[in-house]
Structure 1
């Protein structure tokens, strides 16, 4: 069930919101409404995976309560390890089994042995769910949060439908107070939340989905060389597609949660104005970057170890981040690529970029990010290499002309680029303040967004189904 499809917009969301208002101040009933709606929402998308999540959530709840009262450190660590292994086991089974077997088969084929590669459907949002569940157990062990007071409260944390399928990755202790109070929704919450939700729908359907059509053509299966122009067009389109697609989901999730009275943390902060890869990862998918730092980089030693070990730990962390994104060598290579530049930042690159004008540092960082997205989007390492080769050969002719770049794609790309570069403009602060809520220009912006939202919903109904990119992760 997509956030912008008719079933959600005209049936599920209004029914859930009406029931939430109807139960009034009864906290237990408000919790029951949201939990029931969340489970129904996920059952609609992944009915076969729900029993697995329910069973593992019960195990998490059981172990967390035992960890919290354990007086023996070794026993607490053993229970934490059991919970982590159980959750990682779910992720490995659904996401990596086919990848591991396929690579083992490739190795054994030289000896005349062949393995049957299993076909296991990847549940939507499995990586986000597993990361949040592991985070909960680790934070209980670290005494950063108490165990959930009831299985129902913990289940609400796991299944909370706005962030269920593609994040943000929320820590239990950051949502603990809200889960306990189940805040009532007010008119102000509804207005602010729905505006944010509309923004997400517009970004997804009008910009990201329009760009996706061109991206799919360029990165599709073709014979012959890709060509310089085609390669750069495809990478440029994907660079903005993935940002507007993923940030659109975050906008919708934050907006829906706000409509229900909940506040979720921001997941993006204008990442394409970053002046280094370190800054980029502070602005892009903030919840994942934070997770990597707190639950992987710091346990590996963080900044407490020598410089060489720090660089290696950074590289390992982003290698793992790449693998988290998907079971393919392209994702592993993309993670390793980012890890290299983050290590180079610490080694010397940050000092070099700091001496440059901000615009130049921004342009260099953006180019590095674009090369990374080339590897990320490619269907294989071979295709990634072909794209990178084409991108540095201006005279290389392609397998087709640029006729597939339609006017609507060009317009969407131009709008996306302008939106991303606007925070770099000197008048950005005044422009943003001028559209504050309650001002005349603010009302004009809201009316304009409403019209765009109506058009976006119409486009979503007319166009072929286009899932969120991060639903695969």
Structure 2
């Protein structure tokens, strides 16, 4: 079920919201309603995978309980226990036994954590990477003149990467003592299934939202107005901007890169650069807006990434919940920057290699991760210092060009297509077969989308708070947004639905 399709907009969404409001001061019932609604929402498109998620939720609950019990047993005994042991004549033997028990419990807790994480990763690997691994193994076997493999056809459930990462977060945080195990299956299941963020994030940590789920706040008028405004903004960005950019990018990437020439190849990448930002950030807008309508606060996921003045800055602004997850649950455990410069560079590179693999089971995604990791290392080595010497607007342009080259690889259907596009993009003299002409509506919307990014840049440079300005003129801003929302609905109803890009991940 998509947020902007008629079934959700006119039936499911309003029905769930009205029921939530009518339940009044009964937080437990409101939580149960949200869980049931979220399960229906997800099973509408993924009726088979829902049972896998149910089973893994039950596993997480059990594993977290085991980890918590073992960690409690592994906690150092109070000093009074040591004194009492000596008084009974147990002395060093009792202390040794206690220490051995604590160590054994700690190791057992670590094994349970490893099991829980491995089981969740196995779900991701099976559904997302089995076909990719089998395809490459088949190619290797055939190259060695050995019998090939039958490539399994496994459908990728929507949102599986986001679901698995959140579930791993919960287990790791229980092990670290950051959060206690869920007090009941309802709270944890709601955390996993909560429909506003279920399909494409933001990736939320259990301890950041469990308090809200326990309280299940009553939704007020302020929540509705602010939430629905944010939701409308997301629909407008998706339907009127991202989908239009998609038509331009798809048309150009469907052609042979050599036939496009230098200008045509860069045009296709520019369209995709705008498409992926407005597409993904629009989902975050809708998710945050929907959650707010019900009284919940989700973390922001984007912070004007195309005004970044370095690749490092870009990744602090783009998909912030994923970047934060990688930093906390991969970069720091690998040692972060605590084990010397070389190890720091290696850790950065590994993290963004993992980010590329997370995004998709194809070699272009792997290369895209390697590419971004390399520029993060270069930033630390010298590039960041060089960029700081430039005016911000020029550093912004340089960064955007680096990002766009990465997006060319990300968008490519294969490494062959990625290589072809990059080859043409790096040769200003490369001429296409004929002049590349994009549809006028695509070009016009590209200027609108680019203008939005420029206004973001100007807002930072000139100290203009566009959001505060919109609030001061709330009636005009909301009226304009409502008209655009109606236009987006009309367009969405008249044309086939285009899924969000990140539904593939």
- 1:371-418 CA deviation, whole Å, 9 max, x = no partner? 000000011111111111111223323245323x11110111101111
Q: TM-score, normalised by structure 2?
A: 0.91
Secondary structure of the corresponding residue to residue 304 of structure 1: coil
Counterpart residue number, 2:27? 27
**CA separation in 2, counterparts of 1:456 and 1:422?**
22
- Please give the residue correspondences for 1:145-184 in structure 2 after superposition, counting only pairs within 5 Å: 145-184=179-218
**CA separation in 2, counterparts of 1:399 and 1:99?**
34
Counterpart residue number, 1:3? 3
Runs of 4+ in 1 over 4 A off after TM superposition: none
Q: CA RMSD in A?
A: 1.3
Of structures 1 and 2, the larger Rg is shown by 2
Compared CA separation, residues 207 and 428, structure 1 to 2 (3 A): farther
Q: Does 1:54 align with 2:86?
A: no
The one of 475, 478, 481 aligned to 1:446:
478
- Please give the residue correspondences for 1:301-320 in structure 2 after superposition, counting only pairs within 5 Å: 301-320=335-354
CA contact (8 A) 2:20 2:30 kept: yes
CA contact (8 A) 2:259 2:434 kept: no
CA contact (8 A) 2:196 2:291 kept: yes
Counterpart residue number, 1:321? 355
Q: Report how many residues are paired.
A: 470
- 1:229-280 CA deviation, whole Å, 9 max, x = no partner? 2101100000000000000000000000000000000000000000011110
Q: Does 1:278 align with 2:299?
A: no
CA contact (8 A) 2:257 2:424 kept: no
Compared CA separation, residues 107 and 377, structure 1 to 2 (3 A): same
**CA separation in 2, counterparts of 1:69 and 1:324?**
32
- Please give the residue correspondences for 1:33-432 in structure 2 after superposition, counting only pairs within 5 Å: 33-70=33-70, 71=73, 72-110=105-143, 111-222=145-256, 225-403=259-437, 405-425=438-458, 429-430=463-464, 432=466
CA contact (8 A) 2:159 2:503 kept: yes
Stretches of structure 1 lacking an aligned partner (at least 5 in a row): none
Secondary structure of the corresponding residue to residue 303 of structure 2: coil
Secondary structure of the corresponding residue to residue 45 of structure 1: coil
**CA separation in 1, counterparts of 2:3 and 2:463?**
31
Q: TM-score, normalised by structure 1?
A: 0.97
Counterpart residue number, 2:15? 15
Q: State the shift of 1:423 in Å.
A: 2.3
Compared CA separation, residues 430 and 349, structure 1 to 2 (3 A): closer
- 1:52-79 CA deviation, whole Å, 9 max, x = no partner? 0000000001111111121211111111
**CA separation in 1, counterparts of 2:262 and 2:380?**
33
CA contact (8 A) 1:434 1:442 kept: no
Stretches of structure 2 lacking an aligned partner (at least 5 in a row): 74-104
Q: Does 1:466 align with 2:498?
A: yes
CA contact (8 A) 1:222 1:399 kept: no
Compared CA separation, residues 305 and 461, structure 1 to 2 (3 A): same
CA contact (8 A) 1:226 1:386 kept: no
Secondary structure of the corresponding residue to residue 327 of structure 1: coil
Compared CA separation, residues 223 and 68, structure 1 to 2 (3 A): closer
Q: Structure 1 stretch 327-336 or stretch 220-229: which is displaced more?
A: 220-229
Compared CA separation, residues 433 and 29, structure 1 to 2 (3 A): closer
**CA separation in 2, counterparts of 1:161 and 1:94?**
21
Q: State the shift of 1:431 in Å.
A: 5.6
Q: State the shift of 1:442 in Å.
A: 2.4
